[in-house]
A = this chain, B = another copy of it.
Amino acid sequence: MVNYQASQMDRTFSALADPTRRAILLRLNDEPGLSISELAKPFSQKLPGMMKHLDVLAEAGLITRAKTGRTVSVNLSVEPMQAAMEWLNRYERLWTVSIDRLAALVEEEGGQ
């Protein structure tokens, strides 16, 4: 289970390590259910390149694709991104604790 989660998070962060893929995710947030050709338009990406990026995002579980007739619509999938955020938030909380400790130390020194 831990290994599964680790490799899920590996795929999430790996998928986020590309500016086009990050832009796709933000665009889908604003406009859920876009078709693949609509998605490709502003990115000056040829369709095969866009398909590859969407494959990476789908394998990481960050998007889902649904076919209706000849059109494939793309939607965000929430869970893997939330897991990544929880990891990062834990990291931020640890920083804050460190800063609080440091502030306490400075105050102690100031009080002496």
Q: Chain A residues in contact with chain B, CB under 8 A?
A: 6-7, 9-14, 16-19, 22, 25-26, 29-30, 32, 78, 81, 84-85, 87-92, 94-95, 98
Copies in the complex: 2
Contact call A25/B91, Cβ cutoff below 8 A: yes
Name the B residues within 8 Å of A22 (CB-CB).
Answer: 9, 87
Q: A19 is contacted by which of B6, B91, B98 (Cβ under 8 Å)?
A: B6
Q: What are the residues of chain B within 8 A of A29 when measuring CB–CB?
A: 91, 94-95, 98
- C-alpha spacing A12/B19, complex, angstroms: 12
Contacts of A85 in B (CB 8 A): 88-89, 92
* A10 adjacent to B6 (CB under 8 Å): no
